[in-house]
């Protein structure tokens, strides 16, 4: 039974949402302001949070920022439930890390359907995360950061591992050097293309028993080609 945290200061809406969600089998815990919402999110670890933006003490935008900045709450799905249909509110809320936005007045059935969709998405991600990637004689465990090739451990650096996961999960896709640097090293990285090329060279060497699976695309970057 999924646990839903509802952060809403309007009591009538709070009661409406709770009654309808409990009919659908959810457990609902309530918070009347942003401060209480953050406290309950940390303490009770809900499966999903429904969040109003115009809250006392701490507004919804700041609640999202705080939830996404903390390791124990950063992955909890958030659905904004807000009186405003303002496009900028939607954009800001989603860019801060909310997963969905529903304007008031709303259909309780639609809210319930959106919650179920988000929870299914979380489950799919969890299933994928727990399952090792397999391709030919290669097996990659994303949880433990380990790789085996023909049942023998493959000693990769963290960046080599992250590059390999990206390539194996996106075969035939051509990645520019700029994209790979941003994706693996981050937006603020000062890493140059030379460092990336060195990592690719080392990774190719470690995968040489698979054949030339990492192809260079002249003037662009790299692609992973399945040759098994």
The CATH number assigned to the domain holding 198 equals 1.10.10.10
Last residue of a domain, one of 79, 94, 129: 129
Residues 103, 15, single domain; the answer is yes
pLDDT tens per residue across span 15-73: 999 999 999 999 999 999 999 999 999 999 999 999 999 999 999 999 999 999 998 89
Residues 174, 215, single domain; the answer is yes
In a domain, 113, yes or no: yes
Residues 124, 159, single domain; the answer is no
* Count of domains observed in the chain: 2
Residues 112, 171, single domain; the answer is no
List own/partner pairs for 30-36 with CB under 8 A and 24 or more apart.
30/5, 30/6, 31/5, 31/6, 31/7, 32/8, 32/56, 33/7, 33/9, 33/57, 33/58, 34/7, 34/58, 34/59, 34/60, 34/62, 34/63, 36/7
Residue with tokens 């992973």: 224
Q: What is the pLDDT of residue 143?
A: 77
Residues 28, 125, single domain; the answer is yes
Q: What is the pLDDT of residue 188?
A: 47
Taking the model in full, what pTM does it have?
0.59
**Mean pLDDT (whole number) for 72-79:** 92
Residues 8, 110, single domain; the answer is yes
Q: Residue 127: is its pLDDT beyond 70?
A: no
Residues 159, 125, single domain; the answer is no
Q: Residue 137: is its pLDDT beyond 90?
A: no
CATH value at residue 104: 3.40.50.2300
Cβ atoms of 143 and 136 within 8 Å: the answer is: no
132-150: string of b/e by CB count within 10 Å (b at 16+)? Answer: eeeeeebbbebeeeebebe
Range of the domain at 171: 155-224
């Amino acid at each position: 039974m999924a646990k839903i945290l509802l952060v809403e200061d309007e009591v009538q809406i709070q009661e409406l949402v709770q009654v309808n969600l409990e009919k659908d089998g959810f457990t609902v815990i309530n918070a009347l302001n942003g401060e209480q919402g953050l406290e309950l999110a940390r303490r009770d670890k809900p499966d999903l949070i429904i969040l109003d933006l115009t809250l006392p003490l701490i507004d919804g935008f700041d609640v999202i920022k705080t939830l996404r900045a903390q390791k124990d709450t950063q992955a909890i799905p958030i659905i904004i439930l807000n009186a405003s249909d303002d496009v900028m509110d939607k954009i800001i809320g989603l860019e801060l890390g909310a997963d969905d936005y529903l304007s008031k007045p709303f259909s309780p059935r639609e809210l319930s359907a959106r919650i179920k969709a988000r929870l299914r998405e979380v489950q799919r991600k969890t299933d994928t995360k727990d399952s090792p990637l397999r391709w030919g004689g290669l097996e990659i465990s994303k949880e433990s950061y380990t790789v085996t090739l023909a049942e023998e451990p493959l000693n990769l650096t963290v960046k080599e591992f992250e590059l390999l996961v990206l390539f194996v999960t996106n075969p035939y896709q051509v990645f520019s050097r700029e994209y790979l640097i941003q994706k693996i090293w981050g937006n603020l990285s000062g890493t140059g293309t030379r460092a990336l090329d060195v990592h690719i060279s080392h990774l190719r060497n470690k995968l040489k028993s698979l054949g030339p699976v990492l192809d260079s695309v002249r003037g662009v970057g790299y692609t992973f080609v399945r040759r098994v």
